[in-house]
Chain A
Amino acid sequence: DAKTTQPPSMDCAEGRAANLPCNHSTISGNEYVYWYRQIHSQGPQYIIHGLKNNETNEMASLIITEDRKSSTLILPHATLRDTAVYYCIVSSPYSGGGADGLTFGKGTHLIIQP
C-alpha cells in the first residue's frame, strides 16, 4: 500500500468547512483513497473513498488532484461532534492475503473549536 502523509493536527471553527489534506505521491494506478475517522474511545468509521474523480456523500466530499498524488477531505459545516482523528488510507481494493487489511498511519487530529 502507498504511504500517506497527513498533518498531525488541525483546528477549525464550528460551522466552517474543515479541509484535511493528504499526500500520497507514490499511489499506483489501481489504488483508491479511503478516509476513516475515529472519535475518542470509539472504533474507526468509514467516511468516503475515491479513485480519481471527486466524490461526495452525506458526510463529506473528497477532492483528488488530477495527478492523484494528493487529496483533500472536506467537511462542509463542521460541528463539535466532528472532533476526531482522521485517517487517509491508500490501498488496492483487490483481495489477497494481507491486502484486505487497512494500513492506518497516525492521522490528523481535527479539533473543532466552538
Chain B
Amino acid sequence: DTGVSQDPRHKITKRGQNVTFRCDPISEHNRLYWYRQTLGQGPEFLTYFQNEAQLEKSRLLSDRFSAERPKGSFSTLEIQRTEQGDSAMYLCASSLMGGSLKEQFFGPGTRLTVL
C-alpha cells in the first residue's frame, strides 16, 4: 500500500505527558498537512509543509503543539503537556504541488486519548 501512513493508530496517555505522532506521506508528494478532528466535527486544519518548509503554523492550537518535517519526507506532530481537551483524531494528508491544490490524500489518523 503506497498511501499515507500514520503511527501510532491509537495513543492513550496521561495528562501532562508529551506525545509525538508520525506521518509518512505518499512518496512523491511534497506537501504535507496536519488536521485535528473532534467527535462530531469535521477535520480542523492545523499546519502544512511544502518540502521541509512549514508555510502555515498560525492555526496550531497553542504553543504546546509543534510540527517538523526535517528532510521533506516524513513529519512529526508533538503535543507537550497534554490536556484532556487534546483528545481527538489527528489526521495527516499529503498532496502534490502542481496538482489540484485541494486534492489531498489522507491517512487513517492517530486517535489520542488523554486520561
A93 in contact with B107 given A101-B33, A101-B48, A102-B43 (CB within 8 Å): no
Of residues 76 through 115 on chain B, the ones whose CB sits less than 8 Å from some CB of chain A are 91, 93, 100-109
Stretch of A15-23, A41-49, A58-66, A70-78 at the chain-chain interface? A41-49
Chain B interface size, under 10 / 10 to 19 / 20 to 34 / 35 or more: 20 to 34
Within 8 A of B (CB), among A67-108: 85, 87, 89, 91, 93-95, 97-98, 100-107
Inter-chain contacts of B93 with A (CB < 8 A): 43-44
**Number of residue pairs spanning A and B whose beta carbons lie under 8 angstroms apart:** 71
B41 within 8 A of A: yes
Chain A positions near chain B (C-beta within 8 angstroms): 32, 34, 41-46, 49, 85, 87, 89, 91, 93-95, 97-98, 100-107
Which residue of A is nearest B41, CB measured? A106
| Alpha-carbon distance A93/B95, docked complex (angstroms) | 12
Point out the residue from B4, B45, B56, B107 that lies within 8 Å of A102, measured CB to CB. Answer: B45
